[in-house]
Structure 1
Amino acid sequence: MRGLMQDYPLTVDSIFRRTEAHYADRLLVSAGPVPIRTTYGAWAERTRRLGGVLDTLGVSADGRVGTFAWNSTRHLELYFAVPGTGRVLHTLNIRLFPEQLTYIANHAGDEVVFVDRSLLGLLAPLLPTMPGVHHVVVMDDLGPQNPAALPEITTAQVHDYEDLLAAAEPVDFHVTDENQAAAMCYTSGTTGNPKGVVYSHRSTWLHSLTATTASVAGVTDADVVLPIVPMFHANAWGLAHAAPMVGAAIAFPGADMSPAGLLRLMQAEHVTLAAGVPTIWQGVLPLLDGVDLPDLRMVLCGGSAVPQALSEAYRRATGLPITQAWGMTETHPIATTGSIPARNLDDGDDALARRRSRQGTAVPGVELRIVEPGTTEALPWDDEASGELQVRSPWAASAYYNPDEGVTLAAEDGWMQTGDVAAIDSFGSVRLVDRTKDLVKSGGEWISSVELENEIMAHPEVAEAAVIGVAHPKWDERPVAFVVRKPGSEITAEDVLEHLRTRVAKWWLPDAVEFIDEVPKTSVGKFSKKDLRLRYSDYRLDT
């Protein structure tokens, strides 16, 4: 027997129509040299015109539309106009190396790229290497007070965004197939070429709905959301769809990602929910002394494990510990969150602090398991056994887009392989141990670089720390810690080791501690162990 429900497609354009109909008066703000204050109503009218622009430019029925832009209201217009007309949004990561940008634009088959004028100088030299890009549309985020001649582009037609919009007719959006592709994001390519992940309308709709639930971020029309996480990074963790779905106001930071600029925006716009990677929140933390953020109810953080010391520092400064979320580009990305009662907790409550330092439980719609790598045999949830974390969900990818030979994503029985090593307790709370490629194998036993880093960063004089495995003639590999001192600190290697002696097993202690100016970062702000290993590829340890 089958249910007798309507076959209503879960599509991005249905989110758009809901926002347009119910939340026309809610505010959208973009910071920058030319600040924008508008409403969802005005945004919706422009978004419909943008759909007409895509027709005028002759973008094919399911053509890929690239964006090379900061977080802004214009970028949000593209987020809905492109999939609303049946095309596929492809957000290009502005921080990738040039050869990676060329690779993903060609691999995706981009036909047009919409670019912020402040970023055009980065994109223009690469256009001759992107023969499929026939149109470049420039969005002026600098304004007349920052005149700059457009670079000469001979391989594509160049257009002004506002001119195209003014001349276009608004169009209706009507997508009928919820399994049609809506957007593409590429991984940051920490190993091999970047890999394409294709989100469907259905997966986007379901992920957005789940993000609004109280067990995840609880986004409502009473919120002012600040997506610091870039819109080119897994759809700003889904907030660029979830916020419009429920009419939450949005404050976009634009190009000013400085800690001071972000804090000013949080205060001026009465932000209630802000989301960014740990390095962002580490930068903002020193500025919080004496600052009042009475509207803030959630500091959402993901991208890499949040050090317990950082989360507790936010609790002391704002009354709010950091709320962790875990996921990947391949999981749309939110798969787990760690929501624990936040306010009025005793400073001495170490058990709660440790629990908040975990990655949390699976969000509704996501199932998890841990297995021995290369097998499908599930390991127990006892917080002791650790194995590869695997996922299945309506918004977990089943495969990469046209992958390189030998690159797979699904296990034999269809679960998605994450490459993360984790343990899960009896309540289903995930504790990330490491990435499989970042574990240190010493004498046949595994050492978690993530746990070592978190313990080192708990030292009050340490700003950043990254641990990598270095070849050892006897033990195969041994950990070496690369540490960034806080300004004014004179902490020594022995101080770091002494700090660790009561916190980790003796055999986990790093064989060396090296002080550096900054830990290299990936294009999305994570610590780049790959770059660190390359930089210190000649590093040698003695017996």
Structure 2
Amino acid sequence: MQKKQFNVIDILQHAATWYGDVEVVTNSVEGGVHRIGYAKLYDRTSQLANALQRLGVNSGDRIGTMAWNTWRHLECWYGLSGIGAICHTLNPRLFPDQIEYIVNHAQNRFIFVDTSFISVIANVLDKLPTLEGLVVMTDKENMTDDMLKIGIPVYCYEELLEAETSDFVWPLLDEDTASSLCYTSGTTGNPKGVLYSHEFNLNHSMISAHGDVFDLSAKDSFLLIVPMFHANGWGLPLSVPMVGGKLVLPGPFMDGKSLYDFIKVEKCNKTCAVPTVMTILIDHLDSNNLQIPSMNEIYIGGSAVPQSMIEGFEVRYNVDVNHGWGMTETVVGTFNCHLPFMDELSFEERMKVRCKQGRPPFGMEMKIVDNEGNSLPHDGVAFGKLMVRGPRVIERYYKAKESALDKDGWFDTGDVSTIDKYGFMQITDRTKDIIKSGGEWISSVDIENTAVGHPEVQIAACLGVKHMKWEERPLLIVVKKEGCDPSKSSILDIISSEHAKWQLPDDVVFIDEMPLTATGKIDKKPLRTKYEDFLIEG
């Protein structure tokens, strides 16, 4: 067979050649809907490549992007990687000191930034010594004098492109050449960088399109809600164009009405996001008695999906929820694909299976082990540390001297899980979140998922807090749904229907707003700080 050096740009080149008129549709930052076909997008990406070379960007340079999901951000993904530079997606939701650390650790020379986030960069600009300039991802009409006076060279994205031709010869790259860089959200210590190669992105994109993962084809209209700066965008900015699917990008408009309107107009049949965003969508649908008939499948990952959400989408909207698991270090790790045995199950039994994070696709090895490293049975009961290895698993963090793997090549995910006889993995907790009360283990995830089944609970977090007798006991932190006033007893009744008495939270605390991490997950650090002595003081 012939050998060919793969470059990420080959994906967009293929889409331009064979699906040139298929659209990338964006709810643009400046307002209004922008449409562009893959052929035109490829031409503009070639113009960007010429502009990058004129700016002096070289192979291996880390170039940042801080942007919403838009067609311009997509051009940056392909253009930067295509010339051999590294597209470093920056999460604007991180704290300023984290952004400062990440930009300096990666030694970004330039940052491509949406107008929404210029102030985020400006806030730490004097602490970024390697940064040579900003490229504002807009047109001349939307550039302002304030942008130009930021203190370093500032370029207008559209003006850069207009000065270039679309003739560009893409370099031949070794398959191990770095393509993209994404940092973890830094829940413990400084964020850590994960460097993806061109080979990884090809492998991951092809696996992602598989029928038991995202099941992608040219018939799809895919609403990409998950941010392109979150875990390599779950690989979808590459895998959807690879198969010629229509890519629908929400830009900064993530409210329920905007998402619903986009789904309706663009006839989206698939979408993906973390549970907090899907809560916004389903609440909007419920409150306004709306339907989304074009939507067939919703892919949810990032944290555990409550059974009530899976049931709600299926029963009220005829939409299948595919629960997945992954992390920056793996991108997509497992998906809850439908197996024939599930056809024989009752609705309730099937929902229990759908709540699991699913099975690994080809190339992802997975096991659970006890504290001594002994493998545990796949019986759906035994739980232990979740370990993974394979060509889509990190070997070491960016610039780290030490490998992230054990002596046998396994990566410790930091999750605690079970695996059943059908191969379905289910996260029972993060290692740091599991509650040990009187020598017994309590899953905070299970308590949280049961609690949000209460019709008046918006979101819930379960913490292990100090207890004089039992060392730790669960405490439930709840945000009520708007206009609702659930009692503590009604919430505990819901939980007691599925959990033993000793597993029930000792108390329920209501708060107005749940702290979230930069990737939309519940941030338990400030909750622990505030409530760790709650039961002792009480």
CA distance in 1, matches of 2:38, 2:530: 47
Alpha-carbon offset, residue 507 of structure 1: 1.1
CA distance in 2, matches of 1:379, 1:422: 11
Q: Is 1:456 paired with 2:451?
A: yes
Counterpart for residue 308 of structure 1: 307
1:471-490 pair list within 5 angstroms: 471-490=466-485
CA distance in 2, matches of 1:240, 1:287: 27
Gaps of 5+ in 2: none
1:96-135 pair list within 5 angstroms: 96-135=94-133
Mean alpha-carbon deviation: is it higher for 510-519 or for 65-74? 510-519
Answer yes or no: is the 8 Å Cα contact 1:313–1:321 preserved in 2. Answer: no
Answer yes or no: is the 8 Å Cα contact 1:383–1:423 preserved in 2. Answer: yes
Gaps of 5+ in 1: none
Mean alpha-carbon deviation: is it higher for 81-90 or for 287-296? 287-296
TM-score by length of 2: 0.95
The aligned amino acid for 1:53 is A
- Are residues 459 and 346 of structure 1, via their aligned partners in 2, closer, same or farther at CA, if it must alter by over 3 Å? farther
Alpha-carbon offset, residue 416 of structure 1: 1.2
Q: Is 1:444 paired with 2:449?
A: no
Counterpart for residue 316 of structure 2: 317
Answer yes or no: is the 8 Å Cα contact 1:124–1:153 preserved in 2. Answer: no
Q: Calculate the aligned-residue CA RMSD, in Å.
A: 2.1
Q: Is 1:25 paired with 2:21?
A: yes
Which SS does the other structure have where 1:128 is aligned?
A: helix
Mean alpha-carbon deviation: is it higher for 197-206 or for 11-20? 11-20
Alpha-carbon offset, residue 293 of structure 1: 2.2
Q: Is 1:292 paired with 2:291?
A: yes
Which SS does the other structure have where 2:320 is aligned?
A: coil
Q: Deviations over 1:235-256 (max 9, x none)?
A: 2111101011111111110111
Which SS does the other structure have where 1:441 is aligned?
A: strand
Answer yes or no: is the 8 Å Cα contact 1:440–1:477 preserved in 2. Answer: yes
CA distance in 2, matches of 1:83, 1:18: 16
CA distance in 2, matches of 1:241, 1:278: 23
1:198-217 pair list within 5 angstroms: 198-217=195-214
Q: Deviations over 1:206-225 (max 9, x none)?
A: 11001111111111111111
The aligned amino acid for 1:471 is K
Q: Deviations over 1:242-271 (max 9, x none)?
A: 011111111110111111111111111111
Q: Is 1:249 paired with 2:235?
A: no
Alpha-carbon offset, residue 533 of structure 1: 1.4
Counterpart for residue 353 of structure 1: 351
Q: Deviations over 1:95-132 (max 9, x none)?
A: 00011001000101111100011221221222221111
Mean alpha-carbon deviation: is it higher for 62-71 or for 284-293? 284-293
Q: Is 1:466 paired with 2:440?
A: no
Q: Is 1:184 paired with 2:186?
A: no
Answer yes or no: is the 8 Å Cα contact 2:185–2:518 preserved in 1. Answer: yes
CA distance in 1, matches of 2:47, 2:518: 32
The aligned amino acid for 1:378 is S
1:238-277 pair list within 5 angstroms: 238-277=235-274
Q: Deviations over 1:23-76 (max 9, x none)?
A: 111011110314311100110000011111110111122100100100000000
Alpha-carbon offset, residue 382 of structure 1: 0.8
The aligned amino acid for 2:301 is G
Counterpart for residue 402 of structure 1: 399
Residue 42 (structure 1) aligned to one of 40, 43, 49: 40
Q: Is 1:527 paired with 2:522?
A: yes
The aligned amino acid for 1:436 is T
CA distance in 1, matches of 2:42, 2:248: 17
Which SS does the other structure have where 1:239 is aligned?
A: helix
Alpha-carbon offset, residue 495 of structure 1: 1.7
State how many pairs are aligned: 532
1:146-161 pair list within 5 angstroms: 148-151=144-147, 153=149, 155-161=151-157
Which SS does the other structure have where 1:330 is aligned?
A: coil
Alpha-carbon offset, residue 169 of structure 1: 3.3
CA distance in 1, matches of 2:177, 2:378: 36
Q: Is 1:222 paired with 2:219?
A: yes
Counterpart for residue 516 of structure 1: 511
Residue 494 (structure 1) aligned to one of 481, 489, 501: 489
Alpha-carbon offset, residue 412 of structure 1: 2.3
